[in-house]
Structure 1
Amino acid sequence: MKKFILFIGSVLASSLLYAQDDAAALAKKLANPVASLISVPFQNNTDYGIGDYNGTRNTLNIQPVIPIGISEDWNLIGRVVLPVITQYDIYAPGTKQSGLSDAVVSTFLSPKESKNGLTWGVGPVFLVPTGTDELLTTKKFGVGPTAVILKQANGVTYGALVNQIWSVAGDADRADVNQMFLQPFVTYNWPSGAGLGCNMELTQNWQASTSNIWLNPTVSGLTSLGKQKVSLAIGPRFNIAAPDGQQADWGWRAVVIFLFPK
């Protein structure tokens, strides 16, 4: 616990390395999933006490975000979430699975300028069966809509991201995918760039009639590695609901985001 508190303190202190104007502008863009900011987040989630066999799972989500200006008024934002998973004792004692899981690729059409602090984006989302282990992939290609809407004012960002995916091709012997993901979020950033945030991640499997809900509070800050601008965040994870035999006791999240402001 002492090391955890020291790390949080170092994350907050790191933001003081920035001029406040630059830090506040970067933090505001970071809180916006459809901002005009190229970033490469590495989000690591480690969860313990999973299911009947007290399993452990580590998920590293590689999440590059690339905005492309397609006109004077509109951006096209590409976002990929590629999970790299290592898990132990999830399906039986003494078992291990490791490798890539399925990628989720989203594209948002979004106005470059917000109105009264309100920003939105809409577009398609794709499920790509990149999993390298039988137990880490759906073996299905899926497609559906995605959308995000958020409001920013006085250092506060709040909003929600949602997508719905249906499988349209893939292994006929595997279950169809009919899944919704909903992520409401709120963040407060100080002028230094340091921030406190929280999101909820709800995955609803309509096919199996199951829900998986995580609550993720974090503390964040901005710093530099040489000339490279970086955002750091850390916090606990709470598994509010899960399918039978899959709920975790607790977990934690650590995020490193490499920033490439224009």
Structure 2
Amino acid sequence: MGIKLRSTLFILTGVSAPAAVVAADSQAELAKQALNPVAALYSLPVQYNWNQKMGSSGNGIRSVTNIQPVLPFTLNEDWNLISRTILPIVDQHGLATGGFADQSGVGDTTQSVFFSPKKPTESGWVWGAGPALLLPTGSDKRLSSEQWGLGPTAVALKQANGWTKGILANHLWSLDHSSANDKAPVNLTYLQPFLSYTTESYTSFGINTESTYDWEAKEWDMPINLFVTQLFKVGRQPMSIQAGPRYWADSPEDGAHGWGFRVAYTLLFPK
């Protein structure tokens, strides 16, 4: 899940000064919403991640393309419901010896639902909380936990003076693990603290971690992501592009090591 701020700079010829001010205010608000995981903003991010130095040989590579639609719903005048889905498409090579070294296909889906107040707190914090669900949609047993999972998720953030800071977290437990399943039970804590700064031209510079702790294996997966994001328009359609390196501060012995990178493209659909 990477969290993204979009930036845009465009020129409208023949537009009066008041209209230009309105357009600038609209872009500023869109930039803030795009940073907020529980904003009432329809979006479709497609995120590509590349990682290396994996597997027992240390020569394995894995790419994961996450399709992450965000759908907001109005519950009443005070509350929104935000649906966030992550569907991974995985391509990995050299992670094991023999005929199973290479796999490609769909991984397990994570579905999160946040109930979020429409207004920030008096101190300016925005928050949301709800359930997270793990769906065993993997197309190959090596790409799936083969278990349903359920747990809580929450997010809190504050935006002021160009800065956005916050944290997104969840925990997932197995619902249906049995001794017949050769996979370990799902018992995972996910933590994503994030910090970014937006310039006056709506360019975002940010850092986050997407750390997962496996309580069964007692191991961390901890990539640190640096990114720059640009919001722009094609016609009237706002969209963004994001790119940056990632470094694995910690990972299991056969997990990713060293440097990788991320590229993301997002379509935005303001209400």
Specify every segment of 5 or more residues in structure 2 that has no aligned partner in the other structure, as ranges.
1-5, 12-22
| Structure 1 counterpart SS, 2:184 | coil
Inter-partner Cα distance in structure 1 for 2:24 and 2:263: 24
Inter-partner Cα distance in structure 2 for 1:237 and 1:31: 19
Correspondent of 2:185 among 163, 176, 180: 176
Inter-partner Cα distance in structure 2 for 1:205 and 1:220: 31
Inter-partner Cα distance in structure 1 for 2:72 and 2:210: 24
After TM superposition, give the deviation of residue 117 of structure 1 in Å: 2.3
**1:96 has 2:105 as partner:** no
Structure 2 partner of 1:9: none
Inter-partner Cα distance in structure 1 for 2:260 and 2:24: 32
Inter-partner Cα distance in structure 2 for 1:215 and 1:96: 26
RMSD, aligned CA:
1.8
Correspondent of 2:113 among 107, 111, 114: 107
Structure with more strand by fraction: 1
The number of residue pairs the alignment matches comes to 251
Aligned-partner residue type, residue 189 of structure 1 = T
After TM superposition, give the deviation of residue 93 of structure 1 in Å: 7.1
After TM superposition, give the deviation of residue 225 of structure 1 in Å: 2.5
Structure 2 partner of 1:198: 207
After TM superposition, give the deviation of residue 28 of structure 1 in Å: 0.6
Normalising by structure 2, we get a TM-score of 0.88
After TM superposition, give the deviation of residue 193 of structure 1 in Å: 1.8
Inter-partner Cα distance in structure 2 for 1:133 and 1:252: 25
Q: Is the 8 A contact 1:24 1:192 kept in 2?
A: no
Specify every segment of 5 or more residues in structure 1 that has no aligned partner in the other structure, as ranges.
1-11
> What percent identity do the matched residue pairs reach?
44
Structure 2 partner of 1:66: 71
Correspondent of 1:220 among 216, 229, 242: 229
1:194-239 CA-partner distances (Å, limit 9, x unpaired): 1101111110000111110000010011112333210111000101
Structure 1 partner of 2:17: none
Inter-partner Cα distance in structure 2 for 1:46 and 1:217: 14
1:132-169 CA-partner distances (Å, limit 9, x unpaired): 01110000000000000111111111000110000011
**1:146 has 2:153 as partner:** yes
Aligned-partner residue type, residue 176 of structure 2 = A
Q: Which moved further from structure 2: 161-170 or 220-229?
A: 220-229
Alignment of 1:130-169 (within 5 A): 130-169=137-176
| Structure 2 counterpart SS, 1:75 | strand
Inter-partner Cα distance in structure 2 for 1:231 and 1:92: 39
1:34-83 CA-partner distances (Å, limit 9, x unpaired): 01101110011011222423111110011111110100010000000110
Aligned-partner residue type, residue 62 of structure 2 = R
Q: Is the 8 A contact 2:158 2:165 kept in 1?
A: yes
Aligned-partner residue type, residue 88 of structure 2 = P
The structure having more radius of gyration, on CA atoms, is 2
Shift >3 Å, 4+ stretches: none
Q: Is the 8 A contact 2:129 2:155 kept in 1?
A: yes
